[in-house]
Amino acid sequence: MTEINSLSDIVKNGLCIGCGLCQSIAGKDKIEISMSDKGRLEPKELNKIPSETFNKIINVCPGVIVEGLPKEQVDTKAKHDLVWGYYLSLFYAWSTDDKIRFESSTGGLLNGLSLYLLESKKVKFILHTVATPDKPMRSVSKLSYNKEELLNSNSCSRYGPASPLDKFHEALNLNQPFAFVGKPCDISAIRQLSKTDERVNNLCKYLLTLVCGGSTEFTKSQDFIESFKVKEEELSIFRYRGFGNPGRMYIKTKDGREYDREYNSFWGEESTWRVHFRCKICPDAIGESSDIAALDTWRGGSPKGEDEGFNAAIVRTKKGYDLLNEAVNAGYIKIGDQLEIKDIDDFQPHQINRKKAVYARHLGLKKSDVPTLNTKGLRIKKLYEMNDNEFNLKEEEGISSRIKKI
Ligand SMILES: Cc1cc2nc3c(=O)[nH]c(=O)nc-3n(C[C@H](O)[C@H](O)[C@H](O)COP(=O)(O)OP(=O)(O)OC[C@H]3O[C@@H](n4cnc5c(N)ncnc54)[C@H](O)[C@@H]3O)c2cc1C
Ligand code: SF4
Ligand code: SF4
């Protein structure tokens, strides 16, 4: 079975990342999104989706199709790297607001840019992802119109399941300019939608993303709180990071008990990350089709201690370039030293490994008669051809052996 004929084909083959765009297209009366036993947000067809609507979904769903930066967005001055794609510039950057910098994930680049966009009135609102009120271990999409709304509900790295696009059509229907901040797979889905819905490019003015190691299943967060004998309903605060860089994993209960653990202890070795299956075959976790991608800058890929928070910015489009410069001139963002691709390689070794491995993983799925993603403009085949055979075979066989766990 290598074809996708229904929503459940996407879900049961591990291709769904739970982004929520299908629900936003079809409506809540047709599709429900709920937490599965595996700890993933999964859509379920409540009422038969008309075939026309289903066709719209499979043309945008990041579990079906992923493409690189649209040609018309590639600036004439853009450089290109086989792993990292198109970029106009690379440098350290962070928010000039000490509170944002401290409380955000890395240096608050994404929240700082979002704040600039709101306060300069370039957009009316930001569509982003925050902690669910009263259920801080869960995430929810949010339209924020001012600084207070933007920053009051843990709008920083939320590694667990989220549906950042479930309100995307609601946002479009408001007919006001806005910016979207989300994961690379979310951005890719928006770019696909922009091919058939002209409101997307007219209204969604900026696409900002984070370089993404993968979205963890909810069970990983559950295990974390259970290790302190805390139940979800007792939580008042749940943070994956932030309040420092990286900051500690931190929880507080409604009756005032506090527990925390080092960031590295949650992540540890890559095989224990417990990310969604879709993330293991992700052909673009580096935000190739965004305007700006923000990332961590720990040499070797993981933090050795705390620092003040230094993002790197991969500026991909002219629009992203202008935005960053304007935000710097307006005093919202501080830029540090310029970086080179070899620095980005050093900060993100796991991204290089995945980008090189992913085509072999797709082949492994195809050979096992399991559907996989359609990709274009992401160079994964070229990278595969440059690998040695042993590496490719190991990746192909490795993914085939995981199919039972999808
Ligand atoms: C799932 C996930 C995986 C990550 N993997 C990597 C990695 O491999 N390498 C790396 O350098 N950094 C990774 N990060 C961390 C992130 O890249 C850094 O936070 C980045 O440097 C941005 O920092 P910042 O301080 O500018 O972000 P902030 O200013 O704190 O802003 C973070 C923004 O991300 C949005 N957001 C948070 N969680 C989600 C979500 N689940 N879905 C959609 N939007 C979300 C928030 O709404 C907010 O707008 C990951 C984050 C997430 C959520
Ligand atoms: S990846 Fe997104 S659009 Fe595709 S099925 Fe899952 S929730 Fe729906
Ligand atoms: S690894 Fe890819 S599929 Fe997984 S959350 Fe990140 S961008 Fe999305």
Residue nearest to atom 2 of ligand 2 (CA): 19
Q: Is residue 307 part of a domain?
A: yes
Is the shortest distance between the CB of 164 and ligand 1 below 6 Å? yes
Please give the tally of structural domains in the chain: 1
Q: Is residue 244 part of a domain?
A: no
Q: Is residue 165 part of a domain?
A: yes
Both structure tokens of 278: 């879709």
Q: Is the pTM of this model over 0.85?
A: yes
Q: Which atom of ligand 1 is nearest to the CA of 103?
A: 30
Q: What is the dihedral of CA 137, 143, 148, 151, to 10 degrees?
A: 40
Residue 333's contacts (CB-CB under 8 Å, 6 or more residues apart) are 93, 94, 95, 96, 109, 112, 113, 116, 324, 327
Q: Is residue 262 part of a domain?
A: no
Can you give the pLDDT of all 406 residues of the chain as single tens digits?
578 999 999 999 999 999 999 999 999 999 999 999 999 999 999 999 999 999 999 999 999 999 999 999 999 999 999 999 999 999 999 999 999 999 999 999 999 999 999 999 999 999 999 999 999 999 999 999 999 999 999 999 999 999 999 999 999 999 999 999 999 999 999 999 999 999 999 999 999 999 999 999 999 999 999 999 999 999 999 999 999 999 999 999 999 999 999 998 887 777 778 999 999 999 999 999 999 999 999 999 999 999 999 999 999 999 999 999 999 999 999 999 999 999 999 999 999 999 999 999 999 999 999 999 999 999 999 999 999 999 999 999 999 888 877 8
Dihedral pair phi/psi, residue 401, rounded to 5°: -70, -15
CA distance 341 to 288: 14
Dihedral pair phi/psi, residue 94, rounded to 5°: -160, 170
Measured in angstroms, how far is the CA atom of residue 284 from the centroid of ligand 3?
Answer: 7
Measured in angstroms, how far is the CA atom of residue 158 from the centroid of ligand 1?
Answer: 7
Ligand nearest to the CA of 162: 1
Q: Is residue 176 part of a domain?
A: yes
CA distance 202 to 209: 19
Measured in angstroms, how far is the CA atom of residue 64 from the centroid of ligand 3?
Answer: 13
How much is the pLDDT for 279? 97
Q: Is residue 50 part of a domain?
A: no
Task: Give me the domain span that covers residue 321.
Answer: 76-217+271-344
How much is the pLDDT for 403? 83
Measured in angstroms, how far is the CA atom of residue 329 from the centroid of ligand 3?
Answer: 32
Given a contact cutoff of 8 angstroms between Cβ atoms, the answer to whether 100 and 311 are in contact is: no
How much is the pLDDT for 1? 56
Given a contact cutoff of 8 angstroms between Cβ atoms, the answer to whether 57 and 80 are in contact is: no
DSSP secondary structure letter of residue 299: G
CB count within 10 Å of CB 299 equals: 10
Q: Is residue 357 part of a domain?
A: no
Strand duo 178-182 + 135-144: pairing? unpaired
Helix (H, G, I), strand (E, B) or coil at 169: helix
Q: Is residue 66 part of a domain?
A: no
CA distance 247 to 305: 9
Is the shortest distance between the CB of 156 and ligand 2 below 6 Å? no
Is the shortest distance between the CB of 215 and ligand 1 below 6 Å? yes
How much is the pLDDT for 296? 98
CA distance 162 to 19: 7
